[in-house]
Chain A
Amino acid sequence: MYIIEKSLKLSENVYEIWVNAPHVTRNAKAGQFVIIRTDENGERIPLTISKISGDLVRIIFMAVGKTTHALAAVPAGGAISDIAGPLGCPSEVKKFGTCVLVGGGVGIASTPVIAQALKEAGNRVIGILGARNADFLILEDEMAEICDKLLIATDDGSKGHHGFAADLLKQVIAEEKVDAVWIIGPTIMMKVTSNVTREPKIKTFVSLNPIMVDGTGMCGSCRCVVDGKTKFACVDGPEFDAHQVDFDNLMQRQRYYMEHEKEALAQWKEHQCSCGGQH
């Protein structure tokens, strides 16, 4: 059992938890993830390591289905049955020059550790955060502190640029020389945004989020097509060259269990009610 030391709600449906997991924190690096299981009947789900502090791992997640809802419902001081990690390859951190980190929605969760690592490697770091509206924007202060420059976009214009993060990325590229870009967010957002850097041929990384089971290279559930070749995102990734990724295949594979997911969530919610949310 692993204790959740802190748990808070960051915005509608987005939560932050700190899990006590010294085995994970010892060697964790930017860009890696963990796999958690909430309880004995639970599914193994991957979540990015968003920050490390002593023995604690910070995870920020959106409650979308059964497991993430159940995770959000674990109170501070409560426990989850498993956390494995760190998993995946760390981000490629070196001195590039000027780096831009684009975070979309809950994908912003992954950006501070990478920004920090890039900064420490001597890069100038520009952050671009995109969210549906001002209420959904997370980690703004934290990114502002790390980054040399921080830009914000909201779909409804309630904060910063009225529009997409991709517009801001275009703008930055027009204004200055950019050497490397990270785009982390919903798959469709990564697909669209990475088109901005395709033409000018700027090295661009995306962090892929296929459905996983073991996260150790044993099942092949997480396979993605990169440069026409099959890669296992859990051990070869999760970060890949954005311009080589087959996003359509990824999105198609992500949708496969949609019916199951709806059913599981509905059942979970029903059960929650019958015991007064005390489960």
Chain B
Amino acid sequence: MGDRSVADRLKDFGEVDNGLSPEEAIEEASRCLQCKKPACVDGCPVNIDIPAFVAFIAKGEFLKAAESIRQQNLLPAICGRVCPQETQCEALCILGKKDTPIRIGQLERFAADQERAKGLTVPARKTATGKRVAVIGSGPAGIVAAGELAKDGHDVILYESLHAPGGVLTYGIPSFRLPKDVVKAEIDLILAMGVDLRLNHLVGRTVSHQELEGYDAILLGTGAGLPYFMGIPGENLSGVYSANEFLTRINLMHAERFPEFDTPVARMSRVVVVGGGNVAMDAARTARRMGAKVTLVYRRREEDLPARAAEVHHAQEEGIEFITCANPVRILGDQAVTGIECIRMHMCNLDESGRPVPEPIDNDTFTLDCDVVIQAIGQGPNPVLVSQIPDLDKGKAGNVVTGEDGRTSHPKIFAAGDVTTGAATVIMAMGGAKQAARSISEMLGSR
């Protein structure tokens, strides 16, 4: 069914990609070779049995397809929309060698949407173990861990500091890519397994880290919510946002519907977004929907943009101007932002990974007029809780160090998701959470 037209989608925050129709899904699924050794599965961080679910779709058995996915993936409608399939399963699909790979992500989304329309069934739980596990943070890592731990029969208390669960799925990723009712339905299903969700609890303050010791096990899924700033002059002027703040005001607080909703966001006519990842694309496309003319400034070349190709394409279609090989050096303004000064970057030298090293070209600067600057240059592990826990090994970036099994240096504490890896992906967080939940159940003697 394809994407909505640009003119149409810039009018609202509705989903851009319409997904597949049943006919299209069956046709696409029928192309699958049903490989004996399916390479696609190796590319999936949670090992979904891809040929199996695709075969069900080819036969028109959509709910069976969804059931099959759900064995490995508790959030299929979310993953089907936001996973970077093009670098994971689809990158390894054998058909990709000669032709186009199976659109596995679209099929996953299709199956999940069909299932949701029919009403989701709550997964069964094992007999109660009487063990209490605290899961901290309700992003994909925390949600999935809570679901797995509940399945294993533990009492799960899920703490979330905000007033709504979901982490980045709720406050970060815009609804034009991930509608909030999709997120809500998948989270509600996990909560329906008896998970005790406590909103408005910032662990480390509301619950002390000493109190956590009272649980049989603890899973940290606090994410990478700490926004980085560039440290350039003018950065604290009004009108300079971190992508997190800008996206939170809109996704979580609905500032786009001010004053019907109380939270304001700047009225913007010209916006400069700094960065080139998914977060930068989301911020730029959101600003576009707020009516602004948007320019994205990225320090490397266009081919180096770390965002998903599809999102870069969507952004370009929507009229976002890209200035590559340039980096801001100063934000201009007196009371509020009036512009941004950038320097051109020279891109010849390659580093060990073969990526060009951006270096500023002396005195080659230019200025862009703008009233809002959004910095989307990355974020690090949220330090509030982890900085308080003694004897928790941390890496250079402040990330919690874990083994393959999700264990930290503290015997009762496990961790998963962005707090361990730094900003990564939804599916990586989910994979880590499943593993950590398995380790917790092993420790608690119920596996």
Please give the residue numbers on chain A whose beta carbons come within 8 Å of chain B beta carbons, in ascending order. Answer: 23-24, 26-27, 32, 37, 41-44, 66-67, 81-88, 213-221, 223-225, 230, 235, 249, 252-253, 255-257, 259-261, 263-264, 267
Q: For the complex, is B127 an interface residue (Cβ under 8 Å from A)?
A: no
In the complex, A164 Cα to B23 Cα: how many Å? 77
Contact code string B216-227 (vs A, CB < 8 Å = 1, else 0): 000000000111
CB-contact partner of A214 in B162, B260, B262, B335, under 8 A: B162
State in angstroms the CA–CA spacing of A224 and B238 once bound together: 11
Q: Which residues of A contact B237 (CB under 8 A)?
A: 252
Write out the residue numbers on chain B whose beta carbons fall within 8 Å of the beta carbon of A267.
259
Contact A225 to B207, CB < 8 A, known contacts A23-B198, A216-B162, A219-B245: no
| Nearest Cβ on chain A to B227's Cβ, whole angstroms | 5
CB of B382 within 8 Å of the partner chain: yes
Determine whether the beta carbon of B205 is less than 8 Å from that of A27.
yes
Contacting pair A217 B225 (CB below 8 A): yes
A-B CB contact pairs (8 Å), 28 listed: A23-B201, A23-B206, A42-B262, A44-B253, A44-B263, A84-B161, A84-B200, A84-B202, A85-B202, A86-B206, A213-B253, A214-B161, A214-B162, A214-B248, A216-B162, A217-B226, A217-B382, A219-B242, A219-B245, A220-B229, A220-B242, A220-B244, A225-B236, A230-B231, A252-B335, A256-B239, A256-B266, A264-B258
Q: Which residues of B contact A42 (CB under 8 A)?
A: 261-262
With known contacts A84-B163, A219-B227, A260–B264 Cβ distance under 8 A: yes
Whole-angstrom CA separation of A255 from B336 in the bound complex = 10
Instruction: Give the distance to chain B from A229, nearest Cβ to Cβ, in Å.
Output: 10
SS class of chain B's interface: helix, strand, loop or mixed?
loop
Residues of B within 8 A of A218 (CB): 171, 225-227, 244, 248, 382
B356 on the A face (CB < 8 A): no
Write out the residue numbers on chain A whose beta carbons fall within 8 Å of the beta carbon of B336: 252, 256
Residues on A with beta carbons closer than 8 Å to the beta carbon of B236: 223-225, 230, 249, 253
Cβ A213 vs Cβ B225 within 8 A? no
* 6 extra A-B contacts, CB within 8 A, seeds A43-B262, A223-B229, A267-B259: A213-B248, A216-B202, A217-B225, A220-B244, A220-B245, A256-B336
Taking CB atoms, residues of chain A closer than 8 Å to B122 are: none
Interchain CB contact under 8 A, A84 and B201:
yes
In the complex, A257 Cα to B264 Cα: how many Å? 7
Complex Cα gap A257–B382 (Å): 27
> Which are the 6 A-B pairs with shortest beta-carbon distances?
A260-B264, A43-B262, A219-B245, A84-B200, A218-B225, A256-B238
Q: Does B307 contact A (CB under 8 A)?
A: no
The answer for the CA separation of A59 and B238 in the assembled complex, in Å, is: 29
Q: How large is the interface on B (under 10, 10 to 19, 20 to 34, 35 or more residues)?
A: 35 or more
Would you call B384 an interface residue if the criterion is a C-beta within 8 Å of the partner chain's C-beta atoms?
yes
Contacts of A257 in B (CB 8 A): 264
B383 beta carbon closer than 8 Å to chain A: yes
Instruction: Closest A residue to B257 by CB, please name it.
Output: A41
A172 and B278 CA atoms in complex are apart in Å by 57
Q: How far is the CA of A217 from the CA of B145 in the complex (A)?
A: 24
- Cα A218 to Cα B223 in complex, Å, equals 10
Q: Which of A24, A84, A220, A225 contacts B227 (CB 8 A)?
A: A220
Tell me the bound Cα distance from A260 to B325 in angstroms.
Answer: 36
Query: In this complex, which of B199, B237, B263, B335 has the most chain A Cβ atoms within 10 angstroms of its Cβ?
Result: B263
Residues of A within 8 A of B335 (CB): 252, 255
Q: Is B249 an interface residue (CB 8 A)?
A: yes
Q: For residue A264, which residues in chain B have a CB less than 8 angstroms away from its CB?
A: 258-259, 262, 264
A213 touches B263 (CB 8 A): yes
Encoded as 1 (CB less than 8 Å from any A CB) or 0, chain B from 247 to 287 comes to 01100011000111111101100000000000000000000
What is the minimal beta-carbon distance from A247 to any residue of chain B, in angstroms?
Answer: 13
Cβ-defined contact, B245 with A213, below 8 A: yes
Task: Give chain B residues whose Cβ lies under 8 Å from the Cβ of A252.
Answer: 237-238, 335-336
A86 and B205 within 8 A (CB): yes
Distance A277 CA – B198 CA, assembled complex (angstroms): 33
Q: Which of B199, B206, B226 contacts A27 (CB 8 A)?
A: B206
- Asked if A216 contacts B201 (CB within 8 A), the reply is no
B186 located at the interface, meaning its Cβ lies under 8 Å from any Cβ of chain A in the complex: no
Q: Are A219 and B248 in contact (CB-based, < 8 A)? A: yes
How many angstroms between the C-alpha atoms of A223 and B205 in the bound complex? Answer: 20
